[in-house]
């Protein structure tokens, strides 16, 4: 099929590339000329594992091209996917200005029998509104379908290629069948292709994100309770996760959720509900718990050092909102950085992919380090905010030698308390039991030290 994908961000670039990979002829369109220039120079404007090779191959084989010219890009298309950003506006509602701009600019250039598909996350009713708007501009009715995207940054290519389900919202059965044909190569393992109304499809995306955000805020609140009562959330998590009704996914406590989706989508759903005078107390609580959770590491740091952080230098590992991405939108690390800078602390930060994005926000207000051990050099403490794989087995002996004070504030519960304590660190985690007894047993038990010194990963990392 001939396809146009508007927006070459995290969703649009993955969508256009994966659709080209399955044999379609795809043009990716973006108003940001710098992004298109980067792609055309053989690089990517974002970090997403596995994507660069796919873009390069499909460009080489001439199934994938890019342009800033919207009219030319859509003129031949049988399917036009809209994957532009729908950020949070000042009121909390989704800001649809990008979507309307695209609709207005392309209406008169869309070929007959072309289907417009909204992939961006949009409030319920947006498909209907866009259909009305296009019809008015173009002077004829247009097919508009909803096809919400469920990919996860960091695993986006895999998620698109092997979706656990595809959801489409359509008014006409033929439109659904056309989209079923498009997605057939990605659903060869019989995962479902679900057809529903555009309103239900739009709602499905918000409900999915609301459920996931609720799980995170729930376990974070329980972790905070565990700390009050001397229980360990890791044991509790195991204790509940084996119940098939509960399960393990998304029940890891941490420093709060961030990213370009959960915070703005929860806010948009709350706003939608309020428009209909509906009560959404649970959603509001999820949001409040998350805002508070982003301050939990700050509080632990303040409690440890006292209010004066002026002469303290803190290292931060992990700036992206999650591992395997360079995306820092609403990242919990930013809340921590803001609070610590406001207290006068000096910061040495490291992230495998997100440093350039953070530097663009904070300039020379912090020291940016290419390597994790560089960040802890001379530091009075280390805060871990994102669970990158490479932070899981550091060489604590090397860190001890490099750091001025030996304290770790672990916002992702990466380590066994006994191991960290056994290496002579003070350790703060989220909802973990770090009592006198575990300190004592850590100093008696040399096991953790032996395991770490045999770990080839940490050896490599130091050299
Ligand atoms: N990022 C995710 O993990 C994810 C997952 C599922 C759904 N979504 C949804 O998908 C949508 C896109 O998200 P994203 O993270 O890819 O956003 P993004 O900010 O990375 O990319 C959006 C792109 O759209 C382009 N754009 C904006 N207005 C345009 C216009 N008028 N013409 C052409 N291009 C235009 C921007 O320049 C940008 O490159 C959002 O609605 C988001 O909620 C995102």
> What are the pLDDT tens digits along the chain (463 aa)?
999 999 999 999 999 999 999 999 999 999 999 999 999 999 999 999 999 999 999 999 999 999 999 999 999 999 999 999 999 999 999 999 999 999 999 999 999 999 999 999 999 999 999 999 999 999 999 999 999 999 999 999 999 999 999 999 999 999 999 999 999 999 999 999 999 999 999 999 999 999 999 999 999 999 999 999 999 999 999 999 999 999 999 999 999 999 999 999 999 999 999 999 999 999 999 999 999 999 999 999 999 999 789 999 999 999 999 999 999 999 999 999 999 999 999 999 999 999 999 999 999 999 999 999 999 999 999 999 999 999 999 999 999 999 999 999 999 999 999 999 999 999 999 999 986 666 666 556 544 443 333 333 322 222 2
Distance 11 CA to ligand 1 centre (A): 6
Per-residue model confidence (pLDDT) at position 451: 36
Helix 262-275 to helix 198-229 angle (10° resolution) is 120
Q: How far apart are CA 224 and CA 230, in angstroms?
A: 10
Distance 417 CA to ligand 1 centre (A): 40
Nearest CA residue ID for atom 15, ligand 1? 10
Sign of the torsion formed by the C-alpha atoms of 348, 351, 356 and 362: negative
Q: What share of the chain is helix, strand, coil (3-state, %, to 5)?
A: 50, 15, 40
Q: How far apart are CA 136 and CA 119, in angstroms?
A: 22
Nearest CA residue ID for atom 39, ligand 1? 9
Q: Give pTM, 2 decimals.
A: 0.94
Per-residue model confidence (pLDDT) at position 463: 20
Q: How far apart are CA 352 and CA 371, in angstroms?
A: 8
Q: How far apart are CA 4 and CA 21, in angstroms?
A: 14
- For the CA of 11, the closest atom of ligand 1 is 16
Distance 10 CA to ligand 1 centre (A): 7
Per-residue model confidence (pLDDT) at position 434: 85
Per-residue model confidence (pLDDT) at position 456: 32
Tell me the longest C-alpha to C-alpha distance in the chain.
Answer: 80
Nearest CA residue ID for atom 19, ligand 1? 85
Q: Which of 261, 313, 346, 369 is catalytic?
A: 261
Per-residue model confidence (pLDDT) at position 441: 63
Nearest CA residue ID for atom 32, ligand 1? 31
Tokens, residue 334: 């930013």
Distance 139 CA to ligand 1 centre (A): 28
Distance 7 CA to ligand 1 centre (A): 6
Q: What does the chain come to in residues?
A: 463
Residue 18 is among the residues annotated as catalytic for this protein: no
Per-residue model confidence (pLDDT) at position 438: 62
Helix 97-106 to helix 126-138 angle (10° resolution) is 30
Per-residue model confidence (pLDDT) at position 115: 98
Within 6 Å (CB) of ligand 1, which residues are found? 6-12, 29-32, 35, 83-86, 98, 101-102, 120-121, 149, 151, 153, 260-261
Q: Give one DSSP letter per residue of 287-355, joined into a string.
A: HHHHHHHTTHHHHHHHHHH-S--TT-EEEEE--SSSTT----TT-HHHHHHHHHHHTT-EEEEE-SS-H
CA 178 to chain centre: 30
């Amino acid at each position: 099929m001939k396809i146009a994908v508007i927006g070459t961000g995290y969703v649009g670039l993955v969508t256009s590339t994966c659709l080209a990979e399955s044999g379609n002829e795809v043009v990716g369109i973006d108003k940001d000329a710098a992004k298109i220039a980067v792609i055309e120079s053989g690089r990517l404007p974002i970090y997403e594992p596995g994507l660069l090779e796919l873009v390069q191959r499909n460009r080489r084989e001439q199934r994938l091209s890019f342009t800033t010219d919207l009219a030319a890009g859509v003129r031949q298309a049988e399917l036009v996917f809209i994957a532009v950003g729908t950020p949070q506006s000042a009121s909390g509602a989704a800001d649809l200005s990008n979507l309307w701009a695209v609709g207005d600019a392309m209406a008169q250039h869309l070929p007959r029998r072309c289907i417009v598909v909204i992939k961006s996350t949009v409030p319920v009713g947006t498909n209907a509104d866009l259909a009305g708007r296009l019809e008015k501009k173009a002077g004829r009715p247009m097919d508009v379908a909803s096809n919400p995207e469920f990919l996860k940054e960091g695993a986006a290519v895999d998620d698109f290629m092997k979706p656990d389900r595809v959801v489409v919202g359509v008014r006409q059965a033929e439109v659904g069948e056309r989209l079923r044909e498009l997605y057939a190569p990605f659903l060869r393992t019989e995962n479902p292709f679900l057809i529903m109304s555009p309103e239900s499809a739009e709602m499905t995306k918000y409900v999915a994100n609301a459920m996931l955000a609720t799980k995170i805020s729930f376990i974070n609140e329980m972790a905070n309770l565990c700390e009050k009562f001397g229980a360990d959330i890791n044991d509790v998590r195991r204790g509940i996760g084996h119940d098939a009704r509960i399960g393990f996914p998304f029940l890891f406590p941490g420093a709060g959720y961030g990213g370009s989706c959960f915070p703005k989508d929860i806010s948009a759903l709350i706003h939608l509900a309020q428009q209909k005078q509906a009560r959404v107390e649970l959603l509001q609580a999820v949001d409040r718990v998350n805002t508070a959770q982003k301050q939990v590491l700050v509080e632990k740091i303040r409690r440890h050092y006292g209010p004066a952080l002026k002469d303290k230098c803190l290292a931060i590992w992990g700036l992206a909102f999650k591992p395997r991405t360079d995306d820092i939108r609403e990242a919990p690390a930013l809340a921590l950085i803001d609070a610590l800078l406001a207290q006068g602390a000096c910061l040495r930060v490291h992230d495998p992919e997100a440093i350039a994005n953070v530097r663009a926000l904070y300039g020379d207000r912090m020291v940016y380090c290419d390597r994790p051990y560089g960040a802890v050099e001379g530091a009075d403490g280390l805060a871990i905010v994102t669970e990158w794989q490479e932070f899981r087995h550091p060489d604590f002996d090397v860190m001890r030698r490099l750091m001025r004070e030996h304290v770790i504030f672990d916002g992702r519960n990466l380590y066994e308390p006994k191991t960290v304590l056994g290496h002579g660190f003070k350790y703060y985690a989220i909802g973990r039991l770090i009592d006198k007894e575990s300190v004592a047993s850590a100093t008696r038990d040399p096991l953790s030290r032996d395991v770490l010194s045999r770990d080839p990963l940490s050896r490599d990392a130091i050299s």
